[in-house]
Structure 1
C-alpha cells in the first residue's frame, strides 16, 4: 500500500472534496460544493484530507460550537462557527470505497480528536446512523440516543467524546 498522508485542506482540493462527498453520502445528505468552499474559507484548520500518490481519498471536517449536539443549521451556514467554543463538531468523515477497511478513517478521526485536544476543546461531537454507532464507540464516543437532527431525512444518533 502506498503512503497515506493526512494534511490540512487547501483551496485547490475543493473539486475532489465535493466529488468524494457525492460518492460517500446520498444526495439528500451530501454537502454541496458551495458548503465546502464556505467551510474551507471560514475554518480550514478544522478540515483534514487524506491523500495517496497525489490523489485525495478521504477527509474529515467540522466546526467549533458551544452546542453539546450537532444541529442541522451547523451544516448549512458557517455563521454558527464559534472560534472559541467548547466543542468540535464533525460534519463528515468520508473515505472513498476503494480505500475503506485500511484504517484511513481511523487515522483521520484520531488526528481530528488530537486537534480538538490541542485547541482546548472539551469534547468532540457528531451524529451518525445506527449502523455506525459501534464504530464511533470504538474511539470512546458515547451514544446519547436519537438526535433531533433530521438532516437529509435520515435518523441520526448524537455521539459525544469527552476530552
Structure 2
C-alpha cells in the first residue's frame, strides 16, 4: 500500500490540491483554485495533506470560527477565520478515488481532530450529505439535522464533534 504521511500544506501544493478538489467534488461544490490559495495563506495550520509515495493523494482543510455551525460565507471569505475560535471547521475531506477505502481519509480526520484538541477548541464542525452522516458518526460526530447552508445547491447536515 505504501506509507501514508500526513503533513501541513505548503504553497507549492496548490496545483495538485486544486486538481484533487475538482476530481472529488461536483463543479458547484468544488472550491476554486483561488479560494484554495487563500485558505493555504490564511490557515495553513489547519490545512493538511496526505502523501503516498511522496505524491499528494488527499487533504483536509478548514478554518477556525466561533460559530457552532458552518455557514456559507465561511467557504468563500477567509476573513471569517478567527485564529483562536472555539470551533475548527472542516471544509473538505478529499481523497483521490483510486486511493479511497484505504484509511487515508480516516488518518486525515483523526490528525485534524487531534489538532483541534491540541489547540483547545471546543468542537469540530462540518456539513455533509445524508449518505456520509454515518461515516462521520464513526469519529464521534453527532448529526444536528439539516443545515441552513445551501452551498453548491445541495442539502447538507450539520455535524458536531465536541472536544
TM-score in same-fold range (> 0.5): yes
CA distance in 2, matches of 1:80, 1:41: 14
Counterparts of 1:6-155 in structure 2 under 5 Å? 6-155=6-155
Q: How many aligned positions are there? A: 163
What's the C-alpha RMSD, in Å, of the aligned pairs?
0.4
CA distance in 2, matches of 1:108, 1:116: 13
SS at match of 1:89: strand
Question: Tell me, which stretches of 5 or more residues in structure 2 are unaligned?
Answer: none
1:94 positional shift: 0.2
1:155 positional shift: 0.2
CA distance in 1, matches of 2:53, 2:140: 31
1:46 positional shift: 0.5
SS at match of 1:67: coil
CA distance in 2, matches of 1:101, 1:132: 14
User: What is the TM-score with the length of structure 2 in the denominator?
Assistant: 0.99
1:37 positional shift: 0.6
- CA deviations over 1:66-92 (Å, ceiling 9, x no partner): 000000000001000001110000000
Runs of 4+ in 1 over 3 A off after TM superposition: none
SS at match of 1:113: helix
CA distance in 2, matches of 1:67, 1:50: 27
